[in-house]
């Protein structure tokens, strides 16, 4: 049985789903050596087979899967005695590599193991069904299922101890703090609030930022807000006051003071010179 679904005209910058499918392979069925121009994840539903990439051969069975990165020559083949049946999903996008790294998947580590339940298999089954039954919203439904599929890989990878990919605890704290700033810079937040979210004492968070980024959390927050304000300056329909409030400054005078300190000139002069 072979089921292939191709999605036309993907137009999302962060993540694009290109295709999905399922195949009950014949004995010895193979693909390659060749390469793809996007990421593909195969998940083995039953049977066994062999996957080769970068000179390494992986013998895989039910409950395992493999990542095919773009522009990488690969080869895979179904077992001659117990050929595999697998599902696959192909995707690309600016954040595709980021999500895969969080799942500990890369060209250097392309194999994963997932046999706790049928969640991954079910996601791709739903993708195939959605592509046939949803007319107006199939693209949205498929992208949602792809996010669910990748999120499950990330969740299941958290307990995997892989020294090649594991971040240090300090790096994780800094990353979590920066993510909080990126999500909340537009409202009034304090460093104490950020430290509480990360689970650290404020003074220790300060030391981490100074040691690793050579700036305090407060300076990082200020610079992030002002950089966002500079981006918003390109929109001529927005007033300085509206830009100020959009980056977390309710007081336009304070915003102008901070902006001038960071950029060496007030917002109005900056906008005029950017024209």
Is 226:256 a contact under the CB 8 Å cutoff? no
Q: Which residues, including other chains, have CB under 8 Å from residue 39's CB and lie 6 or more apart?
A: 67, 68, 69, 70, 90, 91, 92, 96, 100
Q: Which of 150, 143, 166, 165 is nearest to 43 (CA)?
A: 150
Q: Which domains does the chain have, with CATH numbers?
A: 2-157 (2.60.120.280), 169-274 (1.10.10.60)
Determine phi and psi for 251, rounding to 5 degrees: -100, 110
What is the chain's pLDDT, residue by residue, as a tens digit (275 residues)?
555 544 555 555 688 888 889 999 999 999 989 998 899 999 999 999 999 999 899 999 999 999 999 989 999 999 999 999 999 999 988 889 989 998 999 998 899 999 889 999 999 999 998 888 876 777 888 889 999 999 999 988 855 444 444 457 888 889 999 999 999 999 989 999 999 988 888 999 999 999 989 999 999 999 999 999 999 988 888 899 999 999 999 898 999 999 999 988 999 888 887 65
Q: How far, in Å, CA of 43 to CA of 65, rounded?
A: 4
**pTM for the structure as a whole:** 0.58
């Amino acid at each position: 049985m072979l089921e292939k679904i191709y999605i036309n005209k993907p137009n999302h910058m962060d993540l694009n789903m290109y295709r999905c499918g399922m195949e009950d392979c014949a004995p010895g069925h193979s693909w390659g050596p060749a390469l793809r121009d996007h990421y593909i994840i195969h998940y083995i539903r039953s049977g066994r087979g062999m996957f080769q990439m970068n000179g390494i051969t992986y013998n895989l069975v039910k409950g395992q899967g493999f990542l095919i990165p773009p522009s990488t020559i690969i080869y895979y083949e179904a077992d001659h005695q117990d050929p595999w049946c697998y599902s696959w999903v192909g995707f690309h996008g600016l954040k595709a590599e980021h999500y895969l790294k969080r799942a500990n998947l890369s060209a250097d580590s392309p194999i994963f193991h997932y046999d706790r339940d049928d969640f991954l298999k079910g996601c791709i089954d739903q993708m195939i069904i959605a592509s046939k039954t949803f007319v107006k919203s199939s693209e949205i439904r498929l992208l949602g299922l792809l996010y669910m599929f990748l999120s499950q890989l990330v969740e299941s990878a958290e307990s995997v101890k892989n020294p090649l990919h594991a971040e240090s605890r300090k790096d994780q704290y800094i990353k979590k703090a920066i993510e909080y700033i990126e999500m909340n810079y537009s409202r009034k937040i304090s460093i104490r609030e950020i430290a509480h979210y990360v689970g650290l004492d404020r003074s220790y968070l300060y030391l981490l930022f100074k040691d690793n980024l050579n700036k305090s959390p407060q300076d990082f927050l200020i610079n992030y807000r002002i950089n966002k304000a500079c981006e918003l300056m390109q929109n001529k329909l927005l007033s300085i006051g509206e830009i100020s409030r959009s980056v977390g400054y309710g007081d336009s005078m304070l915003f102008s003071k901070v902006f001038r300190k960071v950029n060496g000139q007030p917002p109005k002069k900056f906008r005029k010179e950017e024209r």
